[in-house]
Structure 1
Amino acid sequence: MPGNIYLCDVWYTSGLFDMNILIANETLPGLIVDCLPLQTTLASSFECLCNQSCRNILLAVYSNKIEVQIFNQSFPSRFSLTTSTRSIVDQLFIENIQIQTNYDSYYNGCAPS
């Protein structure tokens, strides 16, 4: 399910949080909620973390204030902001593979006979 922030009083809900009744205060783009934290991380994207206003909303709900630097979007990437973390991990965070054979370096470094 999409990642939402629900700011509601426990007294208002009588301790029960029915997602069919509660109305989200904020929706965080790119955040997917799953059963386990690892599943949530892998299903989500970096979309919210690269957006200053979304990141501020996300950090505002924590009682302990932390400073998180926003990603530098000026560097080109083959991954879009909506690419899931699982997809990026599956591709080992590799942006570009360059195959360059340098025989001189090999022979100097390995000194084969």
Structure 2
Amino acid sequence: MKIDGFSAGCMPMDSILQSTLQCFYNQTCLNTLLSFLSTNESFIAMNISKYSRFKPNSTVQEIVNELMVEEWLTNISYEKYYAQCAPVQCTYSKLEKQDLINVLTNIISLHGGLTLTLRFIITRIVRFIRRKKDNESSSQISCMYYTV
């Protein structure tokens, strides 16, 4: 018996994946197919006029590759997520592999930052010490001046 859209092959899975669903759109073909199965259920053929992004002659493999999804509806609501889940804390971590360029960049950045910071601090300390010495020497000179 020939069934529209069905393929025969060595492996059952290969046969199914290469087949189409054309027989499921034809009530006569569907009834013939069901006559070989032991079931008391009645099935109605699929309506070809209904919208589907898959054509009746699309293979099962094509449909499976698209995850059998007719339409993806993306509705992202972070407010609803946080209201539903109510997380106490959110964290984000990123693992990076350190390579030679990153290590060198970090060392140079650290060296530059330390140099800049120490230059600022040391100049302030040196000015403070010089002022203190200048004040001490000027007070000694003034004391000598008064004593003479």
Q: How does 1:1-113 map to 2 (within 5 A)?
A: 5=1, 27-60=2-35, 62=36, 65-66=38-39, 67-73=41-47, 75-113=50-88
Find the aligned partners of 2:34 and 2:85 in 1 and give their Cα distance. Answer: 52
Letter in 2 for 1:95: E
Secondary structure of the 1:107 match is: helix
Letter in 1 for 2:57: T
Find the aligned partners of 2:46 and 2:24 in 1 and give their Cα distance. Answer: 10
Cα displacement (A) at 1:48: 0.8
Q: TM-score, normalised by structure 2?
A: 0.51
Change (3 A) 1:70 1:35: farther
Q: TM-score, normalised by structure 1?
A: 0.64
Between Structure 1 and Structure 2, the one with more helix by share is 2
Find the aligned partners of 1:108 and 1:80 in 2 and give their Cα distance. Answer: 41
Aligned residues: 86
List alignment gaps of at least 5 residues for structure 2.
89-148
Cα displacement (A) at 1:68: 4.7
Larger Rg: 2
Identity %: 33
Between Structure 1 and Structure 2, the one with more strand by share is 1
Find the aligned partners of 1:71 and 1:93 in 2 and give their Cα distance. Answer: 19
Find the aligned partners of 1:65 and 1:99 in 2 and give their Cα distance. Answer: 41
Find the aligned partners of 2:45 and 2:64 in 1 and give their Cα distance. Answer: 17
Letter in 2 for 1:81: P
Per-residue CA deviation, residues 1-47 of structure 1 (Å, 9 max, x unaligned), is xxxx1xxxxxxxxxxxxxxxxxxxxx322111111111111110110
